[in-house]
């Protein structure tokens, strides 16, 4: 009987000590290579051609407009794919062997609304999570749901809506909605 009493007293203490042993970890890796879209700005470097080297914004039709070659489709492309398209267009009668590099100069913004201090449009930084987006918007209001958020993301021609945790990675163009909690 005495051993059973000690067991009942010590078991919760032992389990509590085990619960604090390791910190929680989350997978925050971004899904696949980044696909360009309207609103992104890309830095195109054409080596040896300072007149063509510039920052170009992806327009509403999903293309960039460059001197000599005109519009080049960019929507859905990676920076490597866009560099190949530009290289091919320049090699088609304008340059002998162009060497082109493309990098993202500025990501398109993300949007946050709902129970945050400052709703609106914000600059995206690579690897952002919902929690970081909330911080950029001034934090939660007093009545905000602090456990999850609603995320709207464009996938192809569709808009997808889902409930996500605060450590879920966001992408440029996402809309994050923080709802009110109900008492």
Domain boundaries, the chain: 41-106, 110-178
Q: What is the pTM of this model?
A: 0.75
Question: What pLDDT, on a 0 to 100 scale, did the predictor assign at position 94?
Answer: 87
Asked whether 115 and 130 are in contact (CB, 8 A), the reply is no
Q: What is the mean pLDDT of each run of 10 residues along the chain (183 residues)?
A: 49 48 51 87 96 96 95 96 97 92 96 96 92 95 94 89 94 95 74
Q: What is the pLDDT of residues 112-121, one digit of tens each?
A: 999 999 999 9
Question: What pLDDT, on a 0 to 100 scale, did the predictor assign at position 24?
Answer: 44
Question: What pLDDT, on a 0 to 100 scale, did the predictor assign at position 9?
Answer: 44
What is 110-178's CATH number, 3.10.560.10, 3.40.190.10, 3.30.70.2860, 1.10.1060.10? 3.10.560.10
Asked whether 45 and 100 are in contact (CB, 8 A), the reply is yes
Question: What pLDDT, on a 0 to 100 scale, did the predictor assign at position 10?
Answer: 44
Question: What pLDDT, on a 0 to 100 scale, did the predictor assign at position 92?
Answer: 93
Nearest in space to 37 (alpha carbons), one of 63, 56, 55: 63
- Please provide the average confidence, as pLDDT, over all residues in the chain: 86
Q: What is the pLDDT of residues 22-37, one digit of tens each?
A: 544 445 555 678 899 9
Stated length of the chain: 183
The topology (CATH level 3) of 41-106 is wza like fold (3.30.1950)
Question: What pLDDT, on a 0 to 100 scale, did the predictor assign at position 8?
Answer: 44
List all residues 6 or more positions away from 75 whose beta carbon is below 8 Å from its beta carbon: 35, 36, 37, 38, 58, 61, 62, 63
Question: What pLDDT, on a 0 to 100 scale, did the predictor assign at position 1?
Answer: 54
CA angle, 16 as apex, 14 and 22 as ends, to 5°?
105
For residue 42, the cross-strand partners are 56, 104
List all residues 6 or more positions away from 158 whose beta carbon is below 8 Å from its beta carbon: none
């Amino acid at each position: 009987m005495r051993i059973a009493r000690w067991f009942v007293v010590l078991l919760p203490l032992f389990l509590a000590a085990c619960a604090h042993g390791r910190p929680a970890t989350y997978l925050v890796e971004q899904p696949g290579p980044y696909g360009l879209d309207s609103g992104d700005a890309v830095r195109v470097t054409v080596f040896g051609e300072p007149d063509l080297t510039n920052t170009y914004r992806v327009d509403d039709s999903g293309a960039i407009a460059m001197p000599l070659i005109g519009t080049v489709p960019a929507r859905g492309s990676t920076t490597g794919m866009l560099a190949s398209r530009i290289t091919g267009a320049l090699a088609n009668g304008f340059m002998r062997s162009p060497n082109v590099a493309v990098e993202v100069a500025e990501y398109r913004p993300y949007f946050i609304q709902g129970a945050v201090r400052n709703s609106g449009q914000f600059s995206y930084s690579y690897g952002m999570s919902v929690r970081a987006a909330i911080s950029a918007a001034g934090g939660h209001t007093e009545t905000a749901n602090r456990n999850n958020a609603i995320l709207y993301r464009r996938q192809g021609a569709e808009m997808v809506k889902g409930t996500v945790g605060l450590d879920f990675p966001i992408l440029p163009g996402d809309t994050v909605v923080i709802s009110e909690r109900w008492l």
